[in-house]
Structures are given as C-alpha cells and as structure tokens.
Structure 1
C-alpha cells in the first residue's frame, strides 16, 4: 500500500502541491522562530563574554538584587588586599541624560573605567584614557551619531544629595534635586554594544568621577578581578566570597568564575528573548491549527473523490488497516516533504530578517550571528509531520467507513445531518454558551478582581472553539443567506455559486473556519489595541488633567515660558506653585497645584473640575472631609469633591498663602492643541525640556504618558498583525484548494453546463464567485467576532483606569481586510477556472465517474 500511496502522489501531484505549501508555511514559521531565538541567544552570550573577556574572576549581584555603586565601593579595598588579587575594578552602569553643543538632549549609559587598563574591554581609537573626574571617553559610533568630537563638552544630569534641615518641626518643601555637571570628551573608543541596553549611547569616565556624580543613580554590573600570575583562582574565589559574607552585602553578591558569570548573566538577560520566543511560538501554534484544518479538509475532498478507486482496492483484498495506512502514508510523505522545504526556507528567511534588522535597526539589533541548531530543524520537520498525521485521521477514517458495494454505487452528497454529529453539535454549542456566559460574567465581576481578565480570555477561547466545532451548523446558513442576498443579482453564475458552496456544508464550513480564525485574531488585536489606547488615554486625562507638567526648583524665567508657548503644538503654558501632599491616595502621592481659577481654565483638560476658593478639589471618591498638605507650614484643608482627578489635586492661592508655599516651588503647566498627533508628543517633550533647561525625564503629564504607551501598543499591533498574516495566508490556500478540488469533482457537471449553453466567462465567474463567497463570509464573521472580543478585552483590561469605554477601530483597516479576502478569493479561483475552461464539453462528458 506504500507503493499505492506514492503512486497517488506522483499522479495527482497538483492536488497535493497546495497542501505541501500550507505545511511548509507552518513548519517554516516554527523553525524560523527557533533559529532566531538561538541566534539572539548566541549573540547575547558573545556580547556578555566580551564584557568579561580580560577578567580572571567576577563578582556579580544575585538574581533580582539591585546593588548601587556607592554600596559596593567599600568592598573594593578589602578585595584588592586579598592575596593573589592584582586589582578589583567596579563595572557599573548609570542611565542619564546629556546635552552637548552639537546635539540636543540624549540618553546615555555611563560606566566607570576599569582601574586596571588590562581589564579594558574597549579599543581606544583616538585621544586618551580619562584622568580627571570630569573626563569622558565616548563610544565611536555614539560620537558619530551625535556629531561629537574630542574636546567637546557634554552636560549631564546628576542627582545631588538633598540637604536636610535637621528640624522636623519646620518641614520645608524641597523641589527636584536634579543638577548638572559638565564633562569634556578626551577620547573615542570602540566599545561594542551593551547587551542589556542595545543601541544606547555609551560613555566612560574615571572611577572617581563615576563615584562622585553617578554611583547613587546606577547599578552594579560586576566587580572584575585580575589575579596575580601565580594565584590560585579557586582559593581567591573563596576569599572573595568570605569578604562579601562579612559585609553588609551578605547574600547580595556572588563570586564566580568568568564562564559561570557569563552563563548566569546570559540567562538573566535572555528573559526578554524567551518572552518574544514564546509569543512567536504562540502565533506559530495558531498557524499550525489553521494548517491542520486546511490539510484535513483538502484530504477529505481527495479521499471522497477516490471512493470508487478505494472500493476497488477493497474488492482486490486490501484490508481496512491497509487503506487507513495508505491515506496516512500519503499525508506523512507530503508533510515531510513540505516540512523540509519549509525548514530550508526558514533558514533563508531567518538570515534575511537578521540582515534586514542589522541594516535598518542597527541599534536595536546589533548582532548578525546566525545560529542554526539541529534541534530547530528537527522540531520544524516534526511539527509539519505531526500536523499532517493529525489532519489525515478524519479522512483516513472516512476511507475505511464505506463497504466496497456501497462505494461502487453512485455517490451523492447528503444534506441531512448524521446522528453521529449530534455529540459534536452538543459540545460545540455548549462551548459557545459557556464562553458567552463566562464573558458576560467577567464583564460584571471584573470590578471585584483582576483575575476575571483570565476568565474573560477563557470565555473568548471557548467561544471560538465552539464556533470551530459547530461550524458545519453555523457557517453554511450564513453563506446561503449572504449568497442569496448579494450574489443572486449576478445572475446564473451567482445562483449556482451559492448552491455549489452549500453542496457540501462540512467542506465549506471547514474552509471558512480556517480563515475565520486568522481574521478573528487580527480584528481582536486591532480593535482591542486601538480601543485600549483610546480608553487609557481618556482615563489618564480624567486622573491627571494636565497635558504636560514640569516641576521646577526656582522662579520661571519669562523668556523661557515664552519659548514654551512658541513650540508648535502648544496651546497654552502657565506657571503654578506646588504644595506637598502628606498622605497617599490610592497608593500614590498626588501632585497638588496652587493656581487661580482663571489661569487653570486655560491649561486644564475638559475633565477637570472647577476650582473652589479656599478648598482643595479632590475626586468624587475621596473619603475624608479634609486633606493634609504642606508648604512652609502644614495644615488640613477642606475638600471639594468633583471629577476624577486622583493623581493631581488643585487648590487656589488663598490656600497656598495659608500654608506658605515657597516662591521657588513652581511648575510649568502646558495645554496642547486638540489636533496634536501622538507622534508629535516626543518632539514637544524634548522642546519643553530644552526651553526650560531641564532633563526630559522631568517633563511629565498625561500627554507624555499617552505618547509612551501609544507607541508601545502601535509596535505590538504591527508585529502581531504581521505574524498573523501567515495564518491568513494558509487559510487562503485552503480556499484555493477547495475550489480546485471542486473543479476536479465537477468536471462532468461543468461539461454538461457548457453543453447546455454556459459560456466560458460564466464558468469562470461561477468559480470566482464561489471562492469570493467563502472568503468574504469568513472575513465578515471574523471581523464581527473579533470586534466583539476586542471590545470585551478592552473593557476587562482598562476597567480600573477609566470609567468610560472608548471603542476605536480603523474602518479603512477593516475594509482592507475584507478587500484582501475578496481579492484573494478571486486570485485563488484563477488556476481552477483556467483548468475548467480548457476542458471541452465533449471530453468532459466522456469521463467516467
């Protein structure tokens, strides 16, 4: 029977070609994901190893332990005094912002220079190593990007130590403690990439300079140990650990060999890669499910078209087991062949993606090492083979379910549902009912706990699962109704197309279901992402009705305020004083602004409540009758409950005078134009920071926060939709398969219609309308279902952030998805229509079926 299976594949290779393509896409997706993950992991390990390349031993912080540079400094001396230790150098990192003459504010990852030049992991290109505390060595690529050169000055933002009065009875309001210090570039070096911060601007200064200005902000990466030539590494390692254990950092630091440290650091830094890999494999799993539906449906049609041939084999002595094995062998061979091609294509795609990433996003993807593990190849091939075996189980069972005598009789498709399908129907509709009930319950109960988000996700999953199981009862009636309403006006081809799609409801349902899954997920992500972005923005405006706020520790210069007002996109900018809240509200310390009502009306959002003289405006759910605030003095002030602003409270100058607000505790409040695009917010933030001579990190507000998460959501949407395109493509291949095999089944019927006067153009229209009807109905159902699930997901995720649900979706995107489905349906019918048109009526009527 193996020979029979191979003969079938050789003779009817065109029927199996599309099956192999769908399997190749799914298997290639899996292999590509694993190859990319392995390549990133290998590149990360090389980068980490390069950081410790000249050390003999290393001391690193424990997992999830933050250790500041100022905490480790006292240990460097005792470690250096250990017998066998030549030097102990601190390797740390501080994220700060700097501004130079040739560039505006930029972020920097700044580290101390190793005390021993032997431990340098960089190559000096020009200039010299820093000597003075304010000397700086820039990474060569950073200098090129910023237009900086040796001799330039860069002003960095640093944290100064707050001055304590020592008098608890007279608390004073202290503004931001940020100050700045100017460094001079004395050298350029090739530093490579920081594996924890790819793409960051990198710079080095002396250990003393780092300790004085940045150690309190930064975190320790490692302490690199250089040993004497005759030192015993194992003994020195034990002594290092003893010094650590006897210090205040006992349990926070571990002395390790370089190889062990590289492994530990790589494992910690690869957490992000693991998450990305898991997400990619999740999307690959969706593609595999879709491929199983497509392959199963196609094999069912192939087996149904060979019923007489299978019956003849039974008459010649083939057993049921042999027939079953023959069908499974066909599927396994096609699956293996398709998987091999898919995996080979995955290697090429992985290489192409990595080259494209390095070329177009060199900062985010600085590595170009392609690693192709054998396990990834075997996994891809195994997944393809397994999905094909699973997909051929139902067709194989149908091949042995018919007796030889029954199969030799004329075969007509029955529209009467079989009683054997009743358990399937019960399970399917049961899943739908439970899913809908769970979704509704989650919407009502989410106020009681965030765990109901999982309940809503489970309900949505059950709803989609129930639709897949009971699709043969749900999809055909929808197809029939839409075909009757929209396709009947196309005349005879439209009417025949509708009838042909209903001829085999199960096949139509399975074909449509594969596409519904992909479109539903795309619509869910689009609607959910856009609605979540809009709802979070609305909620943030309610909780903090200030577009942009900048806390300052001095009187605002009129010229600086005028510069802020002239920034494109800024509608109004005013100054306000700040008081300090003594207690938290809902786990956060609210800002308290002292501002007169007339000025407040120009900069506060529409959701802000009107100010009441002598009171502090608090949200409606504020429970106390007073709020305790302080300036130079501290007192309880009556509240006025209105609105939802929980992150910012507002009061009038009378209250500010009563508590003695300092004249230097000011803020600049900015109202943006209504039509400012989210993409412009980052530019406005940088411009405001430059005008007020502060770090951009100090420029906050609801608009700034909205810009940050909007950019993140947009990136996630683009990536998810792009990945789901593979599933949609596999589903469209299934539509093409269905139309192609229906042409093969209906050769005699098509020839008879041609003989009765049906033109070639009408025949082509008939097949095109069949494909368009299936694909468009699937797209419509997927869009409707995905929209509903996206809205539900948005409500569950944003319940605690906004009282209102803002539904937002892109009409052009939806029309685009529907248009793609229609165009794909037409394209999928081109080859079958050409095949049907080539067959003359006389030749078609001669065929014996």
Structure 2
C-alpha cells in the first residue's frame, strides 16, 4: 500500500501541484516570520551588547526627567546625581573611570528647515571625552567633539542626510527656539534609536545639563571597572557612595544587558506572534484547498480504490494510503516552503533596509532548529489533517458500488447533519456578535465572528444553490448555452463549490471588515476634529513631548492671532488618600473660543470663576457633582481646595478635570512644559498665519503647526498605513485562494473530460467550452466574494460598536466603491484562475475524450 501511495503521488503530480504550492506558501510565511524575527532579535541583541561592553556598573537617577518630557511632577527635594557623587564613584578602588550621562531629544533641521529622521528618535546627549579627547561611546568619523555651548557633533548618517560637513552651521532645537551651532565632528553610534532612523546630537556636558536637567546634574553614571575587578563587588561599593541607601537605581552592566535582551525578546516575540497569526490564516485557507484536492482525487479513483478493496485491502489500509500521499505532499511542500521562507526573510530585510529605509541592524541570517521543526511540522500536520476526511471517505467506498459509479453522491443524511451543525455554529456566532456588540467586548466579538464564519463555511453547500441562482438570468441572457451550463456545473457538486469558494471568503471577509472599520474610524475622527475644536491651528511637538513654557506667550503675541490657550497637564494629590489626579490646565478667558464646551450641569463660565470642569463620565466614576470640593496638594508642595463648577460632555479636547491655568499654573513645578497651544486667527485657517506661527516658534523643526485639514489628513494617513499593512499580510491568503480556484477548475476539467467531449460532439465549439469553464470559475469566485463581503460587514458592525467609547458618535460606514471593488476583484480572480483550465478544456480532443471512461 505504501508503494501504491508513492505511485499515486508520482502519477498525479500535475493535479497535486496547486496543493503543493498552497502548503509551500503557507509554510514559507511561517518560516520567513521565524527566520526574520530570529535574525532581527539576534542583530539587536548583538548591537545592544556593544553598548555595554565597557560598563561594569550603571547608576540611574529615576527622578531625572528631561525638561522636554516634563508634565510637571512634584517638586524634587531628594538626592540627585551630581559631580560630587560622580567623583566619589570614580575614586573607588575597583573603578577605572566614571562617566556622567545626560540625555533627551534634539531635532536637527536640514538646509530647508525640515526635520531629519524620525521625530520619536531624535536623540540628544552629552559628549564625554576621555584622556585622548574622544568619547568611546561615539567613535569619531571626522573632526572632533563639541567643547562649548556653540558647538555640536552629529552622527555621520544624519550629517549626510542634511548635507552637512564639519565646519557648517547646523540648526538644532529641543523644545524651544532653534539654536544655530557649529558642527565640529561626526560620530558613529550603535544606539538602536539612531540606527533605526533617528538622529543624534551630542553637546558638551554643561550645555546638555542646561538643556535637559540643571547645571551639574546627571541622569546616569556609567562606571568602567579595572581589569580583573569583580562587578558585583564594585556595585556594592558604588551603592555605599549614595547619600541615601535607595537614592538611585544601580545594577551591573551584565544585568543591564540581560534586561535589554529580555526587552528585545519580548518585542520580537510580539512581532513574531502577529505575523504568525496571518500565517495561520494562510494555512487555514490552504486546508480548504488540500481537502478539496484529495476529495476530488478520491472521487476520480473510486474504481481503483474499489479494486484494491476487492483484492483484499482493508479500510485502514485505504485510509493510510491516502494519508501517506498527503504526508509525502506535505513533506515536499514544507521543505520547499522552508527554503522559500529563508528567501522571504532575506528579501524582507533587504526591502526594509533599502527602499523603506528602516535601517535594521546588520547580522548573520539565523535559522534555528526550532524554525526547521515548526515550519516542516506545521506544513505536514496541516496537510495530513486536511486529507483525513477524504481518506476516511475513501475507506468507506463499497467495492461493487464504486465499480459501477464514478463518484458517490453525498447522502441526504450526511447533508442534513452538516446543515444542522452549520446552523448551530451560525446561531452561536451571531449570538456572540450581538452580545459582544451590546457589551462592547472586543474579545467576544472576535469569538463570535470566528464561530459565525465556521458556521457559514459548514452551510456554504446549502447557500451555494440559491446565491448562484441569482446570476442565472444574466448568464442565460448574455452567454446563452455556455452560461447555462456554467451555472449547472457550479451547483452540481455543492460541497466542492463550497470548499473552493470558502478559501476566498476568508480573505474577503477580513479585508471587508478592516475596510469598513477603517472608514468608520476615519469618519468618527474627522467629525470629532471638526466639532470638538473651534481653533484654527494646534501647535505641538512632533514627538508628543512637551513644548517649552515660553512658546505660549510667543504664540499669543503673533500678529493675526485673536485667541490662544495653552494646555498642559499637571498632577495633584488628594490630601485625604494621596491618590494622584491629572488636571488639564487652560486659559479660562479664551478656552470656550477654542474648544466646544457642552455643559450638562452647572455654570457655563465656571472656568472664569476659578472652578473646575469635570466630564460626566469622570464625575460619575469619582462620585463628583457640581459644588464638590477637592482638597489637593499641588506639584510645588502647597495645598489648596478646588471646586467643581460644571459637568461637561467629554470630547477630544475635554477629558477628566479641566482647571484654570491662572489658579493651578503658579503651583506647577519649575519648567513644566505645555501639551499644546490652540490658536484662533482673524481670518480662519490662513497660510500667512500658519507661517507666522512657525516663525514665532523660531522655525523649530520639532514643533508642528497643524490646521483641521492637516489633523484629518494625518489621522487618515495612520489608518491607511495600518490597513495597507493588513492588506499586504492578508495577500498571501488571497494568493492561496486563487491557487485553490485554479486547482479545482483544472481537476474538474479532467474529471469531466468525457462530458466535454460529448458537448463538443453535439456542436459546442472550443470558444463555448472555454467560456463555460471561465463562467463557472467566475460564479464560484463571486459566490465566495459575496459571502465574504456580507460576513465582513456584519463583523465590522459589531466591531464598530465596541469602539463607541473610544470614538464619540461612532457609526458604521460602508464605503460602496471599495466594497464594489472587492466584488470586482473576486470576479477578476475567478476569470484569471480559469485561464489555464479553460484553455485545457477547449483543446480537448473529441474522440479521445469520448473513449475515456
């Protein structure tokens, strides 16, 4: 029987080709994901390790928050890392050197004033020269390090992007006015933030301290040990220099490197899990193709199998022979998929480092044993699992009945059981969707959608006849006999049609759901942007850090500005229990001119009276009402009492508690930054005003001035980027579904070879035969696309309901053009998939076909 199984695989190479490709592509997705994430993780760990090669102990001041990120914490009266502590650590017997580090962000403008690099990775630090005048963290590429407040060094890649060379004047900014500094040198760095597309600006230590902390203060001290020194003993000695036992965080370089390794592993694990989820979808689609292929192969070999049964083969032997065929196909395809996956990982890294400029770290390709085991194991397991039911069906063929029939039709009992199971799953899935939508539970919606999808798959044979019948009048009118025959062929074997269409349905369902949710989110955000804000422009940092406090007055004085309000977030502690509440501080006199405030209870001018605004949801959660008082401790340590003056509806600019800046602002910690500044102009959104606001901020490349159109476009761009990424990842499942249609049509043509010959003999020409096959494929693809669109819309409806709390006035939006485009795409897939089978059918020799049995 094993020799028979091998012979059957070799005899049906063409018919198994598409199945092999489906498994190969799915396995390649798995292998490519594992190889890519392993390679990326290894390269990141290697790069990270280089940053700690000369660090024995590191000391961190947990309270040292860069001014640019300061939300106004409580006044800092505890110990800080100073030059005195630095010198004490450097004087320890086991310490060879100690380096004080200061860091924050710094934007570098190109010659046109635009920001170089990713705003979230614009890194600023201090350059700490050793005895030889160089900082070992940043090897010099050209020139020298900065020595005073008028100088700066850049990483070589940023300098190249900006077109700068040593001696040029570079425009650098933190969170305030732009500084024009002389470029004294370019350096190399292994900092992952910079390597992955950011930038590095290195200042002399005094300048960095002035920009990010305060004179003489450090955020971190890195200690280099003497040769042979024990880092654990050195750590203990370092801790003894602290003014208080737990004043600072301290750990060895090895511990720090291990912590970074854990973080990298967690990050790559998340990426791997996400990508493997899409690989799972691709393999799930492949199950339909594999099962369909083996079902058709079993049907075409009923006489052969019956003969084996007649000469003594048992049912178990027949089952094993089919499963052995599946095992051989799965093993071959999985090995091919493993090789293809290695190629995918290599190509993906080249793509990200090339056109997409992701700047991933270099490193060798990592192909671990687990990658090989999982890739081959999953491919083989999926293939054998999908072939199990066809194998069981093959073992039940009665010898006499099989020899007298080409294909045994499904019994009414089996179809009835299938329909009952499908109805039960569909009902459970629909109930889950409704419950999840009502309770706004995303997990329940996902579970309900998956259950409903399975139920519809089981019911697809029942649904195929009425849905395909919808196209019958059009087919008869436009295509005559070929159209009528195509319709009859499509519903002749409902199970086969269902299995073929279901593979396409999965991809269309997910793509439709994502598109509808994306369109709904875009509309909700656009509506909120237009209705919640009266301001013409928003001034904020590109990297969502804090604006310098000086920016507010500068903007308010800009010609053409009729109203402006600063918005900053301050923490206050309740006197009673010590819990921290966050207040949004605004200019009471102008706030209602810039933000839509809908008062549900209390005084409309509460802010002007020096009282708080509380959103209704926050008030309900915290048992507040109009007139409630809060005894608080401000960030500067003083105490006060705040009164709730009005309850208001929450929107994108109003959440939690809002207080007059004139009341709480004076109690903010020194240097507290601004979240943003809202601006209203005399002539609305105006290009001159926009440029004036940019000029008022000194042309800082990190400060963005955005109008309503800019904010809407930015939001849409983010949603579109996510959707495009999802479409790309789902593309593999669509490709596999196409292979399924090709495979089904090709095997169907082979199975109906005699019938095609008879049609040719009674007058249907080659063009008619080809058209019949193409229309049959078109019907199957449209059927799968139509079911997918309907399921996608239903799933998206439930999904948008779960987002109602995150997006005000969230309603489902079904974009008709895109949905119609998905159906047209499904139709094109059906036509393209039928090109080869139709050509093969049209060239069928009449006499040979009629003679075939």
Query: Structures share a fold, TM > 0.5?
Result: yes
C-alpha distance in 2, partners of 1:96/1:363? 20
C-alpha distance in 2, partners of 1:119/1:294? 60
Determine if the alignment matches structure 1 residue 11 to structure 2 residue 11.
yes
Counterpart for residue 27 of structure 1: 27
Q: Could you tell me how far 1:189 is from its partner in structure 2?
A: 1.6
C-alpha distance in 1, partners of 2:203/2:661? 44
Residues 377-409 of structure 1: per-residue CA shift (max 9 Å, x gap): 332222111111111101110110112112112
8 Å contact from structure 1 (residues 199, 363) kept in 2: yes
C-alpha distance in 2, partners of 1:205/1:128? 12
8 Å contact from structure 1 (residues 240, 255) kept in 2: no
- Aligned partner of residue 273 in structure 1, secondary structure: helix
- Aligned partner of residue 491 in structure 1, secondary structure: helix
Single out whichever of 484-493 and 143-152 deviates more from structure 2: 484-493
Counterpart for residue 144 of structure 1: 160
Q: Could you tell me how far 1:847 is from its partner in structure 2?
A: 0.9
C-alpha distance in 2, partners of 1:263/1:34? 22
8 Å contact from structure 2 (residues 113, 699) kept in 1: no
User: What is the TM-score normalised by the length of structure 1?
Assistant: 0.82
Counterpart for residue 728 of structure 2: 722
Determine if the alignment matches structure 1 residue 801 to structure 2 residue 798.
no
Q: Which runs of 5+ in 1 are unaligned?
A: 160-177, 447-451, 566-571, 650-654
Residues 183-211 of structure 1: per-residue CA shift (max 9 Å, x gap): 44221122245358721111222333323
Counterpart for residue 535 of structure 1: 524
Counterpart for residue 636 of structure 2: none
Single out whichever of 757-766 and 459-468 deviates more from structure 2: 459-468
8 Å contact from structure 1 (residues 135, 184) kept in 2: yes
C-alpha distance in 2, partners of 1:219/1:399? 79
8 Å contact from structure 1 (residues 44, 195) kept in 2: no
Q: Could you tell me how far 1:658 is from its partner in structure 2?
A: 12
- Aligned partner of residue 360 in structure 1, secondary structure: coil
Single out whichever of 726-735 and 88-97 deviates more from structure 2: 88-97
8 Å contact from structure 1 (residues 415, 504) kept in 2: no
Determine if the alignment matches structure 1 residue 334 to structure 2 residue 333.
no
Which of the residues 582, 589, 607 maps onto 2:583?
589
C-alpha distance in 2, partners of 1:749/1:466? 34
8 Å contact from structure 1 (residues 153, 184) kept in 2: yes
Residues 578-628 of structure 1: per-residue CA shift (max 9 Å, x gap): 89999999965345445579xx77x6679999x998565968847744699
Residue correspondence of structure 1 range 408-487 to structure 2 within 5 A: 408-411=403-406, 414=409, 417-418=412-413, 420-446=414-440, 452-484=441-473
Residues 642 and 245 of structure 1, relative CA distance in 2, 3 Å threshold: closer
8 Å contact from structure 1 (residues 424, 469) kept in 2: yes
Residues 124 and 380 of structure 1, relative CA distance in 2, 3 Å threshold: same
Counterpart for residue 814 of structure 1: 819
8 Å contact from structure 1 (residues 94, 218) kept in 2: no
C-alpha distance in 1, partners of 2:397/2:419? 23
8 Å contact from structure 2 (residues 615, 654) kept in 1: no
Counterpart for residue 303 of structure 1: 298
Residues 701-740 of structure 1: per-residue CA shift (max 9 Å, x gap): 8957656554333222111110101001111111111111
8 Å contact from structure 1 (residues 23, 339) kept in 2: yes
C-alpha distance in 1, partners of 2:96/2:49? 21
Which of the residues 764, 773, 781 maps onto 1:767?
773
Counterpart for residue 837 of structure 1: 842
Q: Could you tell me how far 1:791 is from its partner in structure 2?
A: 2.9
C-alpha distance in 2, partners of 1:328/1:190? 58
Single out whichever of 384-393 and 318-327 deviates more from structure 2: 318-327
Single out whichever of 582-591 and 300-309 deviates more from structure 2: 582-591
Determine if the alignment matches structure 1 residue 254 to structure 2 residue 251.
yes
C-alpha distance in 1, partners of 2:42/2:568? 52
Which of the residues 695, 711, 716 maps onto 2:717?
711
C-alpha distance in 2, partners of 1:494/1:205? 76
Residues 479 and 237 of structure 1, relative CA distance in 2, 3 Å threshold: farther
Residues 211-242 of structure 1: per-residue CA shift (max 9 Å, x gap): 3322479999974332334x423564453464
Cα RMSD (Å): 4.5
Residue correspondence of structure 1 range 614-633 to structure 2 within 5 A: 621=616, 624-625=625-626
Counterpart for residue 449 of structure 1: none
- Aligned partner of residue 347 in structure 1, secondary structure: helix
8 Å contact from structure 2 (residues 296, 747) kept in 1: yes
Q: Could you tell me how far 1:846 is from its partner in structure 2?
A: 0.7
Residues 432-482 of structure 1: per-residue CA shift (max 9 Å, x gap): 212212222222223xxxxx2222222222211222233333334322334
C-alpha distance in 2, partners of 1:580/1:294? 56
Q: Could you tell me how far 1:637 is from its partner in structure 2?
A: 9.5
8 Å contact from structure 2 (residues 44, 361) kept in 1: no
- Equivalent pairs counted in the alignment come to 797
8 Å contact from structure 2 (residues 151, 183) kept in 1: yes
Determine if the alignment matches structure 1 residue 520 to structure 2 residue 515.
no
Counterpart for residue 232 of structure 1: 229
Determine if the alignment matches structure 1 residue 127 to structure 2 residue 126.
no
Residues 788 and 400 of structure 1, relative CA distance in 2, 3 Å threshold: same
Residues 196 and 139 of structure 1, relative CA distance in 2, 3 Å threshold: closer
Q: Could you tell me how far 1:841 is from its partner in structure 2?
A: 2.0
C-alpha distance in 2, partners of 1:319/1:363? 59
User: What is the TM-score normalised by the length of structure 2?
Assistant: 0.82
Counterpart for residue 831 of structure 2: 826
Residue correspondence of structure 1 range 668-707 to structure 2 within 5 A: 669-670=679-680, 688-693=693-698, 703=708
C-alpha distance in 2, partners of 1:627/1:545? 29
Q: Could you tell me how far 1:255 is from its partner in structure 2?
A: 1.5
Counterpart for residue 171 of structure 1: none
Residues 632-669 of structure 1: per-residue CA shift (max 9 Å, x gap): xx9999967776557359xxxxx9999999xxx99551
Residues 326 and 371 of structure 1, relative CA distance in 2, 3 Å threshold: same
Counterpart for residue 111 of structure 1: 125
Single out whichever of 72-81 and 783-792 deviates more from structure 2: 72-81
C-alpha distance in 1, partners of 2:689/2:720? 19
Determine if the alignment matches structure 1 residue 778 to structure 2 residue 784.
yes
Q: Could you tell me how far 1:825 is from its partner in structure 2?
A: 1.1
C-alpha distance in 2, partners of 1:408/1:369? 59
- Aligned partner of residue 669 in structure 1, secondary structure: strand
Residues 659 and 525 of structure 1, relative CA distance in 2, 3 Å threshold: closer
